[in-house]
Structure 1
Amino acid sequence: MESERSLEGLAFLDDDLHPLHVRIYLEHGTIRSIEEIRAAPCSFILPGLFNAHTHIGDTVAMDTPITGDLASIVAPPDGLKHRILRATDQRTLTAAMRSTMEYMERTGTAGFADFREGGHPGVSALKEAAAGLGIRPLILGRDGGEVHADGLGISSVRDIRDYERQIDEARRKGMLIAIHAGERDHHDIEGALSCDPDLLIHCTHARDRDLRECADRGIPIAICPRSNWVLGVTHSAAAPPVARMIELGCTVFLGTDNAMFIQPDLWREMAFLSVITSVSARDILKMGIAGSTLSGSMYRISEGQKTPIIMIDAEQSNLRYSHDPCRTIVTRGGSDHPERILF
């Protein structure tokens, strides 16, 4: 991606995404200074996006016709997606994942947390696919691949017989622990919480007591609303209970889940969430960025920070007529809008 000496426009600053007309000076990729200005071009400047939950290997199964329940489609070891992955050669898998990463990069996604099937070969394929790209994967390995990854990605605790052993081994090595929970129903959430995870995925059917525990213990939740609707585990804005999550003080990230069904486009994910819930645009935008903490450094526009930046030239589209730029970004932003992306 390109490098810039300075940027001017309406920037969304710090962790609270406070909007301010500024001039940003960059030096070797680091924000050296930020100056408030009166007159600025009609541009929006925001941190790069972070997709907090993906399965991009499933690109090879894109839009495969499906029948059956969720378990028959995605549950290990013999769900439909797993059978397709086993039947796919390494070269095709690598090429498919790279293609999806190139798409995410073009749309301003700077990083993502991926559940990587296939053991060590699967992790190696993702690392090879990412070589030379600006986008950075946080790899959560499975089937033994976690030894060569950044962490362990567990399916529902009811799907894995020896999940406790896997988690104990990963924790001894200081690895990130992420677990699917509450996607089909609430019955596997307590089991997941008992493992003291670093991240829960979905919590579509979480109860208040589950959410309070997540809030009290500081366990973030990556929600994937479009996937939940497409896979038929919800038909209600109450699931996932994202408004309640925020009300109770949970940390919420946004993910797109399975590339078999859902294009990994956080602009579409944010717009969808804004339609089905009453959650504010600023909170939704935060969700699309905050997952970056999983990689060790929150994406934020502040002095001294080295962070990915998206610049949208609103003057070149109808976005220039916006009276609420944050809402406009969330509800109308799209893959065609970023003018500059600096990783």
Structure 2
Amino acid sequence: MEELSGTVLAGRSFDPIRGRVVVADGRIEAVEETDTTSTDIIVPAFVNAHTHIGDSVAKDAAAGLSLDEAVVPPDSLKHRQLAAADRSELVSAMRRTLRLMRRTGTVSCLDFREQGVEGARALREAATADVADAFILGSGDPAVLDVADGYGASGANDADFADERAACAERGVPFAIHAGEPDATDIHPALDYDPDLLVHMVHAQQAHLDRVAEQSVPIVACPRANAVLDVGTPPIRELVDHTTVALGTDNVMLNPPSMFREMSYTVTRFDVTAREVLRMATTAGAEIAGLDCGVIEPGRRAALVVLDGDSDNLAGSADPVEAVVRRATELDVKRVV
């Protein structure tokens, strides 16, 4: 049994409790108010809800390129780099990114893994016990579902994904699809698949939002990547008002997979509260993938980040939730449980 003391951001509302979290056999046994002198801040570990980990072989190679030039299949720089990468190089690069994520507070990522069955197998090999978990959304032939946790489609304008959607429904695994990144033309076609998850929705309009709410489709927003690729600004306030919204860092070749950066960028650029953003970075992603984490409450998996509330950066903050979302960085992480 282990006790973590300090200010605990507990439950779905992240209420600050001065007290302790009791952990036994990898699960939260109790969250208790108690006297403590600890200045630590204990938060749920992050879930990065949209990544492309394979891009780890091409970090910063696409700087300054457009969306089409950087990442759109099949002829973009990204896909040429992936095709040229040696398997051992790819596995090593992905493992390093997953290790970085684990060290900096991310317990799991939802990864769109290119290169079909072999790509999914490579990510399985990379996701060893000492790194962040990878929830794999595979690509290519529906046979990828023998290896992956679900399917990740590039976009409804790229191909017909009816067989892949049907295979996911038959197996009871999620079907996710990019939509509304370069423009709005693929949003209604994506929704026609009745997906379990939409990614981006930068150009979502009211008719799309109404369908999203009616179909109860969660969305992953990736605002930093959208800015880097200059595709527009997602209507995050409107998205949050209509459905569950999670945060993702998207392509590793464009952005480091830092949920601290993503949270700070989102709360300062959009009309959302710090609590809403913290929920997007923790609870929402966990719920989308059916992961037993994202909330600090008894019975949950003990996936926690301990921040040094007395660091030179965080000391003196008036509000621990605001401190975590607006101010904290990877340097404030004392421990990941």
Q: 1:218 matched to which residue of 2?
A: 216
2:20 is the counterpart of 1:23:
yes
Per the alignment, residue 175 of structure 2 pairs with 177
Q: Which amino acid aligns with 1:95?
A: S
Offset, 1:316: 3.2
The offset of 1:65, in angstroms, is: 4.3
Deviation of residue 218 (structure 1)? 1.7
Tell me the SS of whatever aligns to 2:331: coil
2:9 matched residue in structure 1: 12
Q: What is the CA-CA distance between 1:22 and the residue it aligns to?
A: 1.6
2:297 maps to which residue?
302
Aligned to 2:47: 50
Q: CA deviation at 1:229?
A: 0.4
1:288 to 276, 281, 298: 281
Q: Kindly tell me: are residues 42 and 233 of structure 1, through their superposed partners in 2, closer, same or farther at Cα, counting changes over 3 Å?
A: same
| Per-residue deviation, 1:323 | 0.4
Shift of 1:142: 0.4
Seq. identity, %: 38
Following superposition, the deviation at residue 336 of structure 1 comes to 1.2
CA distance in structure 2 between the aligned counterparts of 1:40 and 1:201, rounded to whole angstroms: 43
1:217 partner letter: Q
Find the aligned partners of 2:167 and 2:69 in 1 and give their Cα distance.
28
Residues 24-77 of structure 1, C-alpha deviations (whole Å, 9 max, x = no match): 211112111222124442111110000000001011111114565422321222
State the partner residue of 1:77. Answer: 74
Q: Give how far 1:135 is off.
A: 1.7
How do residues 28-177 of structure 1 correspond to structure 2 at under 5 angstroms?
28-65=25-62, 69-144=66-141, 145-160=144-159, 162-177=160-175
Q: Give the Cα–Cα distance (whole angstroms) in 1 for the partners of residues 126 and 325 of structure 2.
A: 29
Instruction: Say whether residues 1:279 and 2:272 are aligned partners.
Output: yes
What is the alpha-carbon root mean square deviation over aligned residues? Answer: 1.5
TM-score (norm 2): 0.95
**Aligned to 2:314, what secondary structure does the other structure show?**
helix
Q: Structure 1: which 5+ residue stretches go unaligned?
A: none
Q: How far did 1:169 drift?
A: 2.1
Equivalent in the alignment of 2:331: 336
One of 237, 249, 253 as aligned partner of 2:246: 253
**What SS does the aligned partner of 1:35 have?**
strand
Kept after mapping to 1: 8 A contact 2:200/2:234: yes
Q: How far does the alpha carbon of each residue in 1:195-246 deviate from its partner, in whole angstroms, 9 at most, with x for none? A: 0111000001101221222223221100000000000102xxxx20001122
Deviations 1:99-129 (A, max 9, x none): 1001101100000000001111111111111
Q: Deviations over 1:291-322 (max 9, x none)?
A: 01133234211112223011112123341201
Distance across 2 between alignment mates of 1:50 and 1:67? 28
1:321 matches 2:316: yes
Structure 2 unmatched ranges of 5 or more: none
CA distance in 1 between partners of 2:64 and 2:271 (Å)? 32
What is the alpha-carbon distance in structure 2 between the residues aligned to residue 311 and residue 191 of structure 1? 43
| Gap change, CA 1:309 and 1:63, over 3 Å in 2 | same
Superposed displacement of residue 288, structure 1: 0.3
- For 2:7 and 2:221, the matched residues in 1 are separated by 28
**For residue 311 of structure 1, what is the aligned residue in structure 2?**
306
- What amino acid maps onto 2:246 in structure 1? F
Between the aligned partners of 2:54 and 2:65, the Cα distance in structure 1 is 21
Aligned partners of 1:126 and 1:223: how far apart in 2? 23
User: Secondary structure of 1:193's partner?
Assistant: helix
How many angstroms apart in 1 are the aligned matches of 2:313 and 2:156?
47
1:321-343 alpha-carbon deviations (Å, 9 max, x no partner): 0101111111111111111110x
Aligned length: 333
TM-score when scaled to structure 1? 0.93
